[in-house]
Structure 1
Amino acid sequence: MNRLILVLGDQLSFGLSALRAGDKAQDTVVMAEVRDEANYVRHHPKKIALIFAAMRKFAAHLEEEGWTVAYSQLDDTENSGSIVGELLRRAEQTGAQSVVCTEPGEWRLINKLQYAPIKTEILNDDRFLASHAEFEAWAEGRKALRMEYFYRDMRRKTGLLMDGENPEGGQWNYDHDNRKPAPGDIAPKGPLKFEPDNIVGDVLGLVEAEFSDHFGTLDGFWFATTRAQALDALDHFITHSLPTFGDFQDAMVSGESFMFHAILSPYINIGLLGPLEVCEAAQEAYEKGDAPLNAVEGFIRQIIGWREYVRGIYFLEGPDYASRNRLGQSRDLPAMYWGGETKMACMSAAVGQTREEAYAHHIQRLMVTGNFALVAGLDPQQVAQWYLEVYADAFEWVEAPNVVGMSQFADGGVIASKPYVSSGAYINRMSNYCKGCDYSVSKKTGDGACPFNTLYWHFLDRHRERFSNNARMGNMYRTWDRMDEDRRKTVLQDGQAVLDKLDAGEIV
């Protein structure tokens, strides 16, 4: 009996479980560019273009391998506009009575497929190193689900950077070596960029016509759109950026959008690269003496540690996770997140590069745009939707735990043991943004004071009941309590003035 094999836009892997379960002789692969997926949030045009172009090329490769592929382009006149609608349309055309698919990475789409009016078998997505059952077993009975301990188990499981039963070099984690600010003469090569071919050009024209009102620009599109190109991008990173990645992975420099980061997450997250092969390439560089241990360990930790961990949290916590708001923050996202005018150089830089590249690295996301959202009391669901919309590597399984959990503490501490808040001093230490800012990072109160400086203390004060007994935050509150009462009053007044400006739609 013939079946439909569904392949989604973030499942472009030739070893996908649904493809392995299929039969080339009688099954039909269904792939579809649909408005439901492009518009359920207003994705960055470059993200849409990346996925559509990669889908078209993947479908062509499947056909070369002998598969029958029913592919729906967005502007097909018969396109129903939804994944389920396209499955039903193709079932009617082929006579197929059932669908086989690999589990999607969002509860939203899982729910749609589970209740689709056609028999649908959802297979495990075994492209990840930790299955749901494995993560649940790891989490069971633990008081705190801290990534570090999960990461060590993933090191043991994979054998990556292991010396027998012990970690290579005698330490599990070299993060303390990876927090250097960038020197003044830094010259990163950045990611490998690819000129658009005819297929990409057609997609860019389509996306420009259909989604030009979304935040972000298509200008200068350079992403890899095939596995071969993604492998070239991996080789480029290993050769040119990995050796220095560790030292400066937290550094931020005006005009340097990529620093020494890999920019491989979009390719891993849509399936063009596998997480293990990427880590093995980094380990090989270490073994050859081409990259230091602190860089390789830090890179591998982001993939088999953090990436696997947040996926585990997303499915462990269930469909309501992304809607949590334990701090009760409710302020609307200000216009600066959409490119509106701001006097804050760090926010302008992070948002501007996001608009141009559909990318910002983890510290820009966590300690600039995320930090500001947290201290300003922004609604975490609006913040999470923004991150999902604007980044090329954002899918809800990875984005929700990173934003709702790590960045905004809206999950109440499932992921983080304390909120990631800081004054302007951290940004000044790790970047050169403050040198070109209208605000003074050294000024704590009054006109011209950095908004991070006053909002930091305002956040701690308004959430004191929740955090004052947190062991990792005791020093912060003791510092606050030692301040003169009049100074504390001034700080809070100045912080509230910033919030009042945000509420009034004024420029901050």
Structure 2
Amino acid sequence: MTTAHWLFGDQLGPHFLAPGQEGPDRDAPVVMIEARSVFRRRRFHRAKAHLVLSAMRHRAAELGDRVRYVKAETYREGVREAVGSSPLTVHHPTSRAALGLVRAMDGVRVLPALGFLVPHDDFRAWADGHGGVRLRQETFYRWVRRSHELLMNGEEPAGGRWNHDHDNREAPPAGARTLGAPAPYRPHEDDVDEEVRHDLDRWERSGEVSFVGRDGPRRFPASRREARSALRRFVGHRLAGFGPHEDAMLADDPVLSHSLLSSSLNLGLLDPAECVGLAEDAWRRGDAPVNSVEGFVRQIAGWREYVWQLYWYFGEDYRRSNALGHHAPLPDWFLDLDADAVTARCLSTVLAQVRDTGWTHHIPRLMLLGSHALQRGWDPAAVTDWFHRCFVDGYDWVMLPNVVGMSQYADGGRMTTKPYTSGGAYVNRMSDFCGPCAYRPSVRAGAGACPFTAGYWAFLHRHRARLERNPRMSQAVRGLDRLTDLDDLLEQERRRGNGPP
């Protein structure tokens, strides 16, 4: 008898059903389980819940009679209904909780993880060989490039440099409201989306489930066909302009030239190898410059891969990291995505983007949302949970290292060499947010004081003893000694507390 294969909701691409030594049996029956308890445990963004359920139901429709699609309260109940006590295979899940679940269930055989370039054992050997403590992304990225012969000319990196980040930090063009990039791929909703929206409405009305954010027309792919269309659209029309303004922010152009492929990759609709392969092909044809292609490749083969591996390598204790001793709760205005309560135009604009779409690109995530949380001293575990719930591409493995390590510096530097936070000058340089804002980026204290500028100096003051020993932060910390208004600034921040800036 052929063993059935269980597909989680982030294992939706065809590669998760490829037969062979490391895959399920050829033509194995498929089990998919829609567990309501997942949505009861956390207050997810409504658009995220819609996307995940739409993607699962689209995949089930594609599989037809091959799939047993079960709607149940829990995964265990769903498995019992689908196969009883019969054996199952499943590819290594993407969260520690899910892996613990499947390993605890009788008759479930766990196959190797898919959807990433580097097997766990290969990464562990590499990491152990580098001491296993401070594992820098750049070193890992070069190893992946070499071992996968990715964007290489023989033994040398394409374009003569491993990292073209220096060419990818341009501020937005002066006076421009948009970059003028070709529009990204956008899917069209269908009957499956209508069914999902009806179910979510019913769950909310009954009080079974509570969501945050808005569920407008679906903006991200929910099927392999849509994801491939989005990938081709990006590589063919948007990749060439991606690099230079990768870090820019514009109020009226939140998408810029970004790929919008993270949710498709994290649902398993796309495989990273096909994404970087198409991008490299575009460079070799002369259709995109090396800095744009390298920047995109670094996001996938460098950062995404690195985050996935560190999630497993650092272990469960990493979740409780809090090197800076931050314990302030997240305020209601942030939890509710109440952009209208916020005066600071940069934060209000980005919070509205998250509220309306469940997405904003990596710089607003890091340098606005994450930076504000870091400056306010919010609990890193709560910040991690917020990012997990509120972003369409957010999963435990994605957000734990990204937030604990990169954004909140809660691991004390295991992932990054310094905290990533700044004053209003950076926001002003890299965006058009500051011009119409009620606050002035150059003002630290008093009327018009920018909450990011004041917050930056308050953060440095609060952690001076630690940060002045950091070679990358020591000069900034010494700047505290030149501030004549530091006492006024600190009193102002104390009064501001956790309210909306």
The reply to whether TM is greater than 0.5 is yes
Unaligned runs of 5+ in 1: 74-78
Equivalent-residue separation in structure 2 for 1:264 and 1:252 (angstroms): 18
Specify whether residues 151 and 421 from structure 1 end up closer, same or farther in structure 2 by C-alpha distance, changes over 3 A only.
Answer: same
**How many aligned positions are there?**
487
1:204 aligns with 2:202: no
SS at match of 1:128: coil
Unaligned runs of 5+ in 2: none
Equivalent-residue separation in structure 1 for 2:421 and 2:500 (angstroms): 22
Deviation at 1:11, TM superposition (A): 0.2
Q: Which residue in the other structure is 1:53 paired with?
A: 54
203, 220, 237: which one aligns with 1:223: 220
Equivalent-residue separation in structure 2 for 1:150 and 1:474 (angstroms): 27
1:418 aligns with 2:428: no
SS at match of 1:71: strand
1:468 aligns with 2:471: no
Specify whether residues 34 and 224 from structure 1 end up closer, same or farther in structure 2 by C-alpha distance, changes over 3 A only.
Answer: same
137, 159, 162: which one aligns with 1:147: 137
The CA deviation string for residues 162-204 of structure 1, in whole angstroms up to 9 with x for no partner, is 0100101110000011111111332233421111011222112
Q: Which residue in the other structure is 1:126 paired with?
A: 114
The CA deviation string for residues 381-408 of structure 1, in whole angstroms up to 9 with x for no partner, is 1111110011111111111110111000
22, 25, 31: which one aligns with 1:23: 25
Equivalent-residue separation in structure 2 for 1:126 and 1:195 (angstroms): 28
User: Does structure 1 retain, via aligned residues, the 8 Å contact 2:189–2:217?
Assistant: no
Q: Which residue in the other structure is 1:100 paired with?
A: 89
1:267-416 residue pairs with structure 2 within 5 A?
A: 267-337=264-334, 338-340=336-338, 341-416=341-416
Equivalent-residue separation in structure 2 for 1:263 and 1:58 (angstroms): 20
Deviation at 1:19, TM superposition (A): 5.9
495, 502, 505: which one aligns with 2:493: 495
Equivalent-residue separation in structure 1 for 2:58 and 2:414 (angstroms): 39
SS at match of 1:298: helix
Specify whether residues 507 and 37 from structure 1 end up closer, same or farther in structure 2 by C-alpha distance, changes over 3 A only.
Answer: closer
Deviation at 1:18, TM superposition (A): 8.0
Instruction: State the identity %.
Output: 37
User: Does structure 2 retain, via aligned residues, the 8 Å contact 1:18–1:102?
Assistant: no
The CA deviation string for residues 8-48 of structure 1, in whole angstroms up to 9 with x for no partner, is 000012121686543356x4311011112233322212212
228, 239, 254: which one aligns with 2:251: 254
Amino acid at match of 1:227: R
Specify whether residues 332 and 205 from structure 1 end up closer, same or farther in structure 2 by C-alpha distance, changes over 3 A only.
Answer: same
Amino acid at match of 1:415: M
The CA deviation string for residues 83-107 of structure 1, in whole angstroms up to 9 with x for no partner, is 1221122222xxx532211111111
Deviation at 1:370, TM superposition (A): 0.2
User: Does structure 1 retain, via aligned residues, the 8 Å contact 2:168–2:247?
Assistant: yes
Equivalent-residue separation in structure 1 for 2:109 and 2:217 (angstroms): 40
Equivalent-residue separation in structure 2 for 1:68 and 1:221 (angstroms): 27
Q: Which residue in the other structure is 2:187 paired with?
A: 194
1:112 aligns with 2:101: yes
1:156 aligns with 2:146: yes
Deviation at 1:255, TM superposition (A): 2.0
Equivalent-residue separation in structure 2 for 1:274 and 1:39 (angstroms): 30
1:481 aligns with 2:477: no
SS at match of 2:385: helix
Equivalent-residue separation in structure 2 for 1:386 and 1:393 (angstroms): 12
Pairwise CA RMSD of aligned residues? 1.7
Q: Which residue in the other structure is 1:76 paired with?
A: none
User: Does structure 2 retain, via aligned residues, the 8 Å contact 1:18–1:100?
Assistant: no
Moved over 6 A (4+): none
Q: Which residue in the other structure is 2:456 paired with?
A: 456
User: Does structure 1 retain, via aligned residues, the 8 Å contact 2:70–2:82?
Assistant: no
SS at match of 1:31: strand
Amino acid at match of 2:108: T
Equivalent-residue separation in structure 2 for 1:18 and 1:399 (angstroms): 28
Equivalent-residue separation in structure 2 for 1:39 and 1:106 (angstroms): 17
Specify whether residues 2 and 276 from structure 1 end up closer, same or farther in structure 2 by C-alpha distance, changes over 3 A only.
Answer: closer
Q: Which residue in the other structure is 1:168 paired with?
A: 158
Amino acid at match of 2:489: V
Moved more, 362-371 or 198-207: 198-207
Amino acid at match of 1:460: L
SS at match of 2:134: coil
Deviation at 1:481, TM superposition (A): 2.2
Deviation at 1:207, TM superposition (A): 2.1
The CA deviation string for residues 436-482 of structure 1, in whole angstroms up to 9 with x for no partner, is 21211121211220011111111111112222101111111122223
SS at match of 1:100: strand
Amino acid at match of 2:355: R
Equivalent-residue separation in structure 1 for 2:436 and 2:34 (angstroms): 43
Specify whether residues 127 and 219 from structure 1 end up closer, same or farther in structure 2 by C-alpha distance, changes over 3 A only.
Answer: closer
Moved more, 355-364 or 104-113: 104-113
Deviation at 1:346, TM superposition (A): 1.0
User: Does structure 2 retain, via aligned residues, the 8 Å contact 1:16–1:125?
Assistant: no
SS at match of 1:306: helix
The CA deviation string for residues 60-90 of structure 1, in whole angstroms up to 9 with x for no partner, is 3223xxx6311024xxxxx2x1112211222
